[in-house]
Structure 1
Amino acid sequence: MIKAVIFDLDGTLLNRDASVKVFIEKQYMRFNKWINHVPIEKYTTRFIELDNRGYVWKDKVYQQLVGEFDITGLTWEELFQDYISQFPESCVPFPNLISMLETLRENNIILGMITNGKGQFQMDNIKALGIEKYFETILISEWEGMKKPESQIFQRALDTLNVLPSESIFIGDHPENDVHASQNIGMKGIWKKDYQWDNVKADFIVEDLKEIPLIVERLNNQSIKFY
Structure 2
Amino acid sequence: MIKAVLFDFDGTLLNRDQSVMNFIDMQYDRLNKWVGHIPKKIYTTRFIELDSRGYVWKDKVYQQLVNELNITGVNWEYLLQDYINEFKNNCVPFPNLLIMLEELKRNNIVLGMITNGYGQFQMDNIKALGIEDYFEAILVSGWEGLKKPDIQIFKRALNQLNVVSNQSVFVGDHPENDVKASQNAGMKSIWKKDVQWDNVDADFIVDDLAEIPIIIKNLNKFN
Q: 1:56: which partner in 2?
A: 56
Letter of the 1:136 counterpart: E
Q: 1:182: which partner in 2?
A: 182
Q: 2:87: which partner in 1?
A: 87
Secondary structure of the residue aligned to 1:171 is strand
Q: How does 1:1-227 map to 2 (within 5 A)?
A: 1-221=1-221
Once the two structures are superposed, what CA deviation does each residue of 1:35-88 show, in whole Å capped at 9, x if it has no partner?
Answer: 111111111110011000000000110000000000110111110000000000
Letter of the 2:17 counterpart: D
Distance 2:180 2:123 in 1: 25
Letter of the 2:153 counterpart: I
Distance 1:5 1:41 in 2: 40
Distance 1:185 1:62 in 2: 36
Distance 1:131 1:205 in 2: 23
Distance 1:38 1:196 in 2: 29
Residue identity (%): 71
Question: What is the count of residue pairs matched by the alignment?
Answer: 222
Secondary structure of the residue aligned to 1:17 is helix
Letter of the 1:121 counterpart: F
Distance 1:47 1:106 in 2: 41
Once the two structures are superposed, what CA deviation does each residue of 1:109-162 show, in whole Å capped at 9, x if it has no partner?
Answer: 000000000000000000000000000000000100000000000000000101
Letter of the 1:110 counterpart: V
Distance 1:185 1:73 in 2: 49
- TM-score (norm: length of structure 1): 0.97
Distance 1:106 1:189 in 2: 21
Distance 2:88 2:36 in 1: 24
Distance 2:199 2:178 in 1: 15
Distance 2:147 2:156 in 1: 11
- Structure 1 unaligned residues grouped into runs of 5+: 223-227
Distance 1:164 1:31 in 2: 49
Letter of the 1:4 counterpart: A
Letter of the 2:38 counterpart: V
Letter of the 2:97 counterpart: L
Distance 1:26 1:193 in 2: 28
Secondary structure of the residue aligned to 2:6 is strand
Structure 1 moving runs of 4+ over 2 Å: none
Greater alpha carbon shift after TM alignment, 30-39 vs 139-148: 30-39
Distance 2:211 2:86 in 1: 32
Letter of the 1:143 counterpart: W
Q: What is the RMSD of the two structures over their aligned residues, measured on CA atoms?
A: 0.7
Distance 2:185 2:133 in 1: 27
Distance 1:190 1:104 in 2: 15
- TM-score (norm: length of structure 2): 0.99
